[in-house]
Amino acid sequence: MSTLATPAVPAEGIYRDHPRQHAVYQLRNTQPRTYPFEHIVLSDVFPADYYQMLLDHLPEDDAYTPSENGRYPERGRVMLSTHERDDLANLPPVQRKFWTDFRDHVINVDFWGALVETFAPTLASRFKETCWLQSFLSRDRGGYAISPHTDTSRKLISVLFYLPTTESVLGCGTSIVVSNRPEHNTFNVPHSGEWEGFDIAHTVPFAPNSMLGFLVSDKSLHAVKPTPPGTARDTIQFNVMLPD
């Protein structure tokens, strides 16, 4: 079994619970919600002191790269893992070490194996041994919004770890959306910017140290309403992807 490398932090900041095992414990002991699509909401995902370390090691604004298509100028990313590359070399040494350890020792095969098992009854027919993991830090500045969409059919599972520093941005979470229009209930619903025909069933609060994970399907409609000016919506996003 892999062991978690100790990040360079003062002795008084050393955590007690193992971050990955704490997250897996929370995951395995929480039942998925099934309406309107399968999803899971966790609180206290990581030990409180490790969550503070996540916040303390968030990169500065200039480390985040805008999206390639320019559609969401308020969003920036720092890639932790993809098929082709990551952005870790662009970070200062202490941050680079911390996020490398996080990628390799926290959200590793133990964590994503527990995640797959959570959705296993439904996921079985789509899962392939050649699935791969995509993970990145995301920062959405004030005014960011995304209209209802289901996500690409190349995703099996989508996960968002919420990283606010206060509870003043609880309303900036991801909304679970429903529609009774057949054309909306399909994979790859485009980000049209339109809300007509969609209803919000529940908005998962953007609470500190919480997580939303869902099984991507033809009904996994979700969205984010415009965030307030001057805010930063920090998340870690983690996707189980189908092979190209």
Confidence of residue 3 (pLDDT cuts 50, 70, 90): very low
Query: What per-residue confidence (pLDDT) applies to 243?
Result: 85
Q: Which two tokens stand for residue 128?
A: 């392939």
Say yes or no to pLDDT of 110 above 80: yes
Report the CATH number of the 18-241 domain.
Answer: 2.60.120.620
Say what percent of the chain tops pLDDT 90. 64
How far apart CA 126 and CA 134 sit, in angstroms, is 17
Average pLDDT, the chain: 88
Domain ranges in the chain are 18-241
The model's pLDDT over 219-238, given as tens digits with 9 standing for 90+, comes to 999 999 999 998 889 999 99
**What is the chain's Cα-based Rg?**
17
The model's pLDDT over 35-57, given as tens digits with 9 standing for 90+, comes to 999 999 999 999 999 999 999 99
Long-range contacts, stretch 85-91, CB < 8 angstroms, 24+ apart: 87/63, 90/63, 91/59, 91/63
Say yes or no to pLDDT of 185 above 60: yes
Report which of residues 11 and 244 the model is more confident about.
Answer: 244
Query: What per-residue confidence (pLDDT) applies to 4?
Result: 44
Q: Calculate mean pLDDT across residues 191-215.
A: 93
Confidence of residue 162 (pLDDT cuts 50, 70, 90): very high
Query: What per-residue confidence (pLDDT) applies to 14?
Result: 59
Confidence of residue 146 (pLDDT cuts 50, 70, 90): very high
Say yes or no to pLDDT of 11 above 60: no
Say yes or no to pLDDT of 153 above 50: yes
Say yes or no to pLDDT of 164 above 50: yes
Say yes or no to pLDDT of 112 above 90: no
Query: What per-residue confidence (pLDDT) applies to 19?
Result: 95
Query: What per-residue confidence (pLDDT) applies to 129?
Result: 77
Rounded to the nearest 10 degrees, what angle do helices 109-118 and 19-28 cross at? 10
Q: Calculate mean pLDDT across residues 15-29.
A: 92
Q: Calculate mean pLDDT across residues 127-139.
A: 88
Q: Which two tokens stand for residue 68?
A: 């390639």
